[in-house]
Amino acid sequence: MTETRVLLANIDEPDLNTIAVYERLGGYRAMRKALLEMSAEDVLHELGESGLRGRGGAGFSMGKKASFIPKGAMDKYLCCNADESEPGTFKDRLLMQKNPHLLVEGCIIGSIAAGANKGFIFIRGEYSVQADILEDAVAEAYEKGYLGERILDSGHTFDLVVHRGQGAYICGEETGLLDALEGKRGNPRLKPPFPANQGLYQGPTLINNVETLCNAPIIIDHGADWYRKFGEGNSTGTKIVSVSGNVQRPGNFEVELGVTVRELIYGLAGGPPEGRELKCFFPGGSSAPVLTKEHLDLPYTFEAMAQAGSMLGSGAIIVVDESEPLVPLALRLAEFYRHESCGKCVPCREGTNWTVKVLERVDEGEGTPMDLEILEQVQGNIIGNCLCVLGDSMAMPVASMLTHFREEFEQHMEEARLARDLEELPAMGAGELGAVPEAGPV
């Protein structure tokens, strides 16, 4: 099994991060075409026709989202979501570090489609190396006149700023990101209004993920018909899939959407370590409900993952093998989401905390069968009831683990209880043990 490298085609080229090398390899050709040979409507149309769906999690059509931006003169914005905080996801980091100009060019093309004159790349604070590289790329693009006033003497003006986040998962949620950009605490906003209508500073705003925007120059350069040849059904194009967890060759692999999950996990990532069997996998980052062995031959598409009860999400597969107990894994996951919950809505704030508490009891041998019922009910009360989907992002995988592996949860609880009882025995002291009256004659 080999990769289909489109976004990563030149990724190993030395100094690709410099504008000289990027342009030598055809970089900024699509921007020229979009600015000088196409109208903004054509650009929007081409992006829509390509079928490109968001690579940040929700899988919404990029062209459709851009088409929701109102027409006419007003302050409009483009925001690139480079927060990449979803556990298991590390593909945007690769793109920004090695090929920052592809993203800058993608932002320019996105801005043409949206009619935006100001843009921000919101990058997580931990990615300081990548932020430095991006800042250099933006400076180079300004020097060349690819950013700023009337780019290449066209009628389009676009300014781009790299903005560093401060390390909060919730700032990857698009409206939390907007609040953070405005200098507030990054809390999600109630939707509607959606950002396309009322986003940054109340202006219409197009928000897209790094990988989504990196597809834009490729689509404009080669055309939507060419692009649609990659992929399957409504999942067009290629996808950079981050594969991690219990695999022999973790890493980023670019494949056509539609290859089987087995090809990704076993063919490219080498499968679980020698002698171990796969237990389950998260197909779309840690927020995606887990799937099992029986799902390995499904095509890796938005549709197939959804039909199987999960989601393609950010396109990050985390593999869990048989040696990995699920209760501590679910607990680690819940602790992460509890820590990252902004606390603005009750189901998420309380639900993530309850989930941690119950899982702790189960893990420490203090659980009762009722705890598993409570665990299930709590997840049910979170899903669909939160201000944003952070709460669901914990509840969906935890609920799926319970559904697929309830016996393991029950066994873990029983074994932990026995282990705890055994630990407590010596603590009771020999005297106490000796004091137990022997059964006498009745």
d(CA 27, CA 99): 10
- Record the tokens describing residue 260, joined without a space: 């089987």
- 57 lies in the binding site for ligand FMN (CB under 6 A): yes
Token pair in block for residue 97:
């570090």
| Shortest distance (Å) from residue 196 CB to ligand FMN | 11
Binding status of residue 389 toward ligand FMN by CB under 6 A: yes
Q: Among 119, 172, 258, 315, which residue sits at the site for ligand FMN (rule: CB under 6 A)?
A: 172
Q: Which of 1, 24, 39, 60 binds ligand FMN (CB under 6 A)?
A: 60
Decide: is 388 part of the binding site for ligand FMN (CB under 6 A).
yes
Please tell me the count of residues contacting ligand FMN according to CB under 6 A.
Answer: 24
179 lies in the site for ligand FMN, by CB under 6 A? no
**Part in contact with ligand FMN (CB under 6 A); list of ranges 19-27, 77-85, 191-199, 223-231:** 77-85
**Cβ 143 to ligand FMN shortest distance, Å:** 28
Rounded to whole angstroms, the Cα distance separating 135 from 139 reads: 6
- By CB under 6 A, tell whether 164 contacts ligand FMN: no
Asked whether position 85 contacts ligand FMN by CB under 6 A, the answer is yes
Answer yes or no whether residue 207 interacts with ligand FMN by CB under 6 A.
Answer: yes
- Give me the helices (H) in 295-345, please: 302-307, 326-340
The reply to whether 55 sits near ligand FMN by the rule CB under 6 A is: yes
Which of 4, 81, 187, 301 touches ligand FMN by CB under 6 A? 81
Orientation of helix 91-98 relative to helix 128-143, angle to 10°: 40
Q: Is 90 in the site for ligand FMN (CB under 6 A)?
A: no
Is residue 215 close enough to count as binding ligand FMN by CB under 6 A?
no
Question: How far apart, in whole angstroms, are the C-alpha atoms of residue 341 and residue 335?
Answer: 10
| Binding test (CB under 6 A) with ligand FMN, winner from 168, 390, 401, 402 | 390
Tokens for 145, please give them: 């006149």
3-state secondary structure 97-125: HHCHHHHHHHHHHHHHHHCCCEEEEEECC
* Rounded alpha-carbon distances, angstroms, from residue 119 to 39, 76, 107, 298: 20, 9, 8, 38
Q: Which is nearer to ligand FMN, 215 or 260 (CB)?
A: 215
Residue 86 within binding range of ligand FMN, rule CB under 6 A: yes
Asked if 348 touches ligand FMN (CB under 6 A), the answer is no
3-state helix/strand/coil string of 47-107: HHHCCCECCCCCCCEHHHHHHCCCCCCCCCEEEEEECCCCCCCCHHHHHHHHCHHHHHHHH
Residue 230 · residue 4 · CB < 8 Å: yes
The footprint of ligand FMN (CB under 6 A) covers 54-58, 60, 81, 83-86, 169-170, 172-174, 207-209, 212, 388-390, 393
